[in-house]
Amino acid sequence: MGRLDGKVTIITGGSRGMGEAHARCFAAEGARVVVTDVLDGEGKAVAGVCGADAVYEPLDVTDAAAWRRVVDATMARWGRIDVLVNNAGIFRILAIADTTEDTWNRIMAVNTTGVFLGIQTVAPIMVEQGSGSIINISSIAGLRGSARSIAYSTSKWAVRGMTKCAAQELAPSGVRVNSVHPGIIDTPMAGEFDVHGIRADVDARIPIGREARPDEVSPTLLFLASDESSYCTGGEYLVDGAISA
């Protein structure tokens, strides 16, 4: 018996990296998984690996109409939504002077507005059900300042704040909202460190001595998605190898 048997889950940015790891983990624990992304080929492949109770739906998280389409399709297929993982995100290393308005707006649109739209679209269904778990992927950058990442860090602080607002508003309806704050994870997104030639320096600051594998983050999400975390809402869950300790 799986820890998520029968739970219907939507995972954004599910085609690779942490999103893929979470989709695989949830499927292995009995969940029905909706993998969403803008990378159609990769997303379909992940859904295929996850089994018969997994589907792929294209989703640009910055598009409110696309969110409604995915949610409507999920409800038509399974009649409920138990878990939303707002995982999609983008990362850029840029000095303040080099951060253009277009770059700022794009990072905020994906990392912050995308999370807001997910909560706004799914929450009414969970409220009507009287249950649900929303898991927002923030970052250690959402807990502290970080040079050369003003847009990314701001977006992740905003996710942290949204989580707490939504947790308080939705708690009376039985809907839980938590944020997860990964550290340095070995995903395609971490390639940004390679572009700037700083990956070795970044890794040297991790007390545990290495980057995390994406599947080392998934168990924290599994706990938050499951009924085991029934009294956990508004929390911040670090998975960072003590880099922010």
Q: What residues are annotated to the active site?
A: 152
Which residues on neighbouring strands pair with residue 9, listed in sequence order?
A: 33, 83
Q: Which of 216, 198, 90 is nearest to 141 (CA)?
A: 90
Burial of 128 (0-12, 13-18, 19+ CB in 10 A): exposed
Burial tier of 169 (Cβ tally within 10 Å: 0-12, 13-18, 19+): middle
Residues 6+ apart with CB under 8 A from 208: 241, 242
Strand, helix or coil at 50? Answer: helix
| Alpha-carbon distances, residue 188 vs 2, 128, 238, 244 (angstroms) | 29, 37, 20, 22
Relative orientation angle of helices 101-108 and 150-170, to the nearest 10 degrees? 30
DSSP state of 110: I
